[in-house]
């Protein structure tokens, strides 16, 4: 059994079924990519695992290390070691980068140097960034790197990364790849949502999510095929019956 | 050490600041307890005259043309007993091409029934700069009423930057009323940061009049209201001259049963002027909160971190 097991997960938002009897197992210590067309339900899937408000009312179950986390609030899930990196990270007013990262590091029991180390790992000079605010003055790419730094400081057991590469330039992409390597080295299990082939290739294996279901899974080389041929021009979006591939989930 | 000196240091130290700064001959200072002058030190070019009144003091501050006061002037006003009235009448005239920073501490650590009334008239001369930072330290009982009012005139090219901070202890009731008139090329920047709890009442009325060409103004209010606190912010920027620029910004976070209001008025009477406003009032932003919770903080801790960030 995997670190995270999803059993028959169905979730509707405003009367629309977004996740549909989804079942999947994520093995511990791997980088799992989740790909699929826009609107497939990837972010919804991540939010449901994290337990965000609005994503708590679903059928099925979510097991973490064999135990149901269905009824736990976000912070208790986080204290089990689960975290989420947002596609568009939150911006604050006045909250210092230092305090933002420290808040995540505190959970992990480490104190000294945790902020500097995490920033360094993401290629951000602590002297320039630690005392800035996590606000709208940070560029999109800087904000994403700071999100990742705070995740590194937390040393999570399971991290859901929702498009960590979106809005990121080529050099920053290297920092994101490095972060994946650090996470893997610290034994974290990563669920990596992406639209980028390059990022997909960083994964150990991959899942194809379409219309709220897992349509296929396997080595990156296999999923890459759908990704290149189908999903970029997928006209089967949210019409599962017509999807040409048999479900292997 | 004389009794008075000792007393002055004691008052000063209730502001959680290091009183050794009062020994620095290059630092001008004025320490007033209720209606008594406990300490006064001037520096060249800076005149400070104090008259003791029944219920406070009258202050005349004059800065001569061309005087640059290098180190911030330390002012301290306070009442240590539980009850009392302190009325400060302040008349400030800053000459031309001068520059001064004032750091003012107002301390009422044991307030049960106290009134602190500040009535200021300030003129900042041509091309001069006046920086004023006022920090209040109140007790935990909330028995205090603070009424700071000021009429400020900024001559051509003058710069007026103020910050008002009331984060320690209970607010009690506060009624801030500032009116600032900016002539050509002047700059006004006012920021207030206030945190209310219990049944605190916060009212801010700031009006900026951009009457001279290219005058600029920014009015910023950041307020956290918790428990049964109430906050009202009425900020006005009126631009009547060409090429004036302004921004009114109000951010209030409410928690528990607190109530907050913001009524920004942007009044532009010249087509070449440009004034904007932004107001965000409400509970803590959900995404901000859930991000911190997803890193392991519980909800209350996360809310406090977000509020402290806003008020920092
Ligand atoms: N609150 C909501 N109410 C109704 N529908 C919603 C809501 N939130 C999301 N949806 C819908 O659910 C579907 C899945 O959205 P989701 O954000 O999970 O997709 P995604 O796979 O992450 O897409 P993308 O690649 O564009 O990020 C979309 O069709 C979206 O419009
Ligand atoms: Mg998405």
Q: How much is the pLDDT for B2?
A: 64
CA of A165 to the centre of ligand 1 (A): 19
pLDDT for B276 beyond 90: yes
Residue A1: what pLDDT? 66
Report pLDDT for A229: 62
Query: pLDDT tens across B127-154, in order?
Result: 999 999 999 999 999 999 999 999 999 9
**In contact, B47 and B61? CB cutoff 8 Å:** yes
Alpha carbon nearest to ligand 1 atom 31, residue: A39
Q: Is the CB of residue A105 less than 8 Å from the CB of residue A154?
A: yes
Lowest mean pLDDT among A59-63, A118-122, A244-248, B194-198: A244-248
* Coil/strand/helix, residue A13: strand
Per-residue confidence (pLDDT) for residue B81, from 0 to 100: 92
In percent, the amount of chain B with pLDDT more than 90 equals: 92
Quick check: ipTM above 0.90? Answer: yes
Question: Best residue in A74, A104, A150 to probe B by mutation, most B CBs within 10 Å?
Answer: A74
A75-84, A220-229, B45-54, B155-164: which has the minimum mean pLDDT? A220-229
Q: Delimit the domains of chain B by residue range.
A: 3-311
pLDDT value, residue A247: 40
Ligand 1 center from residue A38 Cα (angstroms): 8
Q: How many beta-carbon pairs under 8 angstroms link A with B?
A: 79
Q: For residue B291, what is the nearest residue in chain A, using CA coordinates?
A: A90
- Characterise A106 by phi-psi region: left (phi > 0), alpha (psi -120 to 50), beta (else): alpha
Q: What is the mean pLDDT of residues A74-88?
A: 96
Q: How far apart are the first and last CA of chain B?
A: 37
Q: Can you tell me which atom of ligand 1 is nearest the CA of A163? A: 27
Are B114 and B84 a contacting pair, CB within 8 Å? yes
Query: CA nearest B103: which of B61, B131, B138, B128?
Result: B131
Confidence of residue A238 (pLDDT cuts 50, 70, 90): very low
Q: Is A71 in the pocket of ligand 1 (CB under 6 A)?
A: no
Assign A225 a pLDDT band (cuts: 50, 70, 90): confident
Of B179, B223, B34, B199, residue with least CA distance to B117: B34
B195 pLDDT band, cuts 50/70/90, is very high
Q: Once rounded to an integer, what is the mean pLDDT over residues B18-30?
A: 91
Strands, E assignment, A27-157: 31-35, 59-64, 67-68, 82-85
Q: Is the pTM of this model over 0.80?
A: yes
| B contacts of A161 (beta carbons < 8 Å) | none
B99 DSSP β-pair partners: B68, B129
| A13: region left, alpha or beta (phi > 0 left; psi from -120 to 50 alpha) | beta
């Amino acid at each position: 059994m995997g670190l995270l097991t999803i059993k028959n997960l169905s979730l509707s938002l405003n009367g629309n079924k977004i996740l549909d009897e989804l079942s999947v197992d994520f093995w511990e210590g791997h980088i799992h990519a989740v790909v699929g067309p826009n609107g497939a339900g990837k972010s919804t899937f991540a939010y449901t695992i994290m337990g965000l408000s609005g994503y708590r009312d679903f059928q099925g179950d979510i097991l973490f290390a064999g135990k149901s986390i269905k009824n736990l609030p976000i912070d208790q899930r986080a204290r089990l070691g689960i975290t989420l990196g947002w596609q568009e990270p939150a911006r604050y007013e006045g909250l210092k980068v230092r305090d933002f990262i420290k808040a995540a590091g505190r959970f992990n029991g480490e104190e000294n140097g945790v902020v500097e180390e995490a920033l360094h790992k993401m290629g951000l000079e602590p002297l320039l960034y630690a005392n800035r605010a996590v606000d709208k003055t940070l560029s999109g790419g800087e904000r994403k790197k700071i999100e990742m730094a705070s995740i590194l400081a937390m040393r999570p057991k399971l991290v859901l990364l929702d498009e960590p590469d979106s809005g990121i330039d080529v050099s920053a992409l290297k920092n994101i790849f490095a972060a994946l390597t650090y996470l893997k080295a610290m034994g974290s299990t990563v669920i990596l949502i992406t639209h980028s082939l390059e990022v997909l290739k960083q994964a150990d294996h991959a899942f194809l999510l379409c219309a709220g279901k897992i349509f296929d899974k396997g080595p990156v080389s296999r999923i890459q095929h759908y990704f290149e041929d189908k999903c970029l021009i997928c006209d089967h979006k949210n019409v599962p019956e017509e999807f040409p591939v048999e479900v292997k989930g | 050490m004389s009794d008075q000196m000792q007393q002055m240091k004691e008052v000063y130290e209730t502001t959680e600041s290091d009183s050794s700064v009062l020994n620095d001959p290059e630092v001008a200072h004025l320490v007033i307890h209720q209606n008594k002058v406990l300490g006064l030190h001037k520096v060249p070019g800076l005149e400070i005259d104090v008259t003791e009144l029944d219920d406070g003091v009258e202050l005349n501050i004059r800065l001569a043309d061309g005087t640059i006061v290098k180190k911030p002037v330390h002012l301290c006003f306070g009442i240590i007993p539980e009850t009392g009235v302190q009325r400060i009448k302040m008349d400030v005239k800053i000459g031309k091409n001068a520059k001064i920073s004032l750091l003012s501490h107002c301390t009422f650590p044991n307030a049960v029934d106290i009134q602190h009334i500040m009535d200021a008239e300030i003129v900042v001369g041509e091309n001069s700069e006046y920086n004023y930072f006022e920090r209040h330290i109140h007790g935990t009982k909330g028995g205090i009423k603070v009424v700071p009012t000021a009429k400020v005139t900024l001559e051509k090219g003058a710069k007026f930057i103020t910050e008002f901070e009331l984060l320690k202890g209970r607010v009690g009731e506060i009624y801030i009323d500032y009116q600032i008139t900016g002539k050509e090329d002047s700059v006004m920047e006012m920021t207030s940061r206030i945190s209310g709890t219990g049944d605190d009442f916060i009212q801010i009325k700031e009006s900026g009049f951009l009457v001279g060409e290219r005058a600029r103004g920014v009015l910023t209010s950041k307020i956290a209201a918790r428990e049964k606190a109430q906050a009202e912010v009425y900020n006005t920027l009126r631009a009547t001259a060409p090429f004036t620029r302004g921004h009114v910004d109000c951010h209030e976070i409410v928690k528990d049963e607190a109530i907050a209001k913001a009524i920004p008025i942007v009044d532009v009477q010249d087509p070449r002027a440009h004034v904007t406003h932004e107001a965000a009032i409400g509970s803590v932003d959900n995404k901000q909160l859930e991000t911190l919770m997803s890193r392991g903080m519980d909800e209350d801790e996360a809310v406090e971190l977000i509020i402290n960030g806003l008020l920092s």
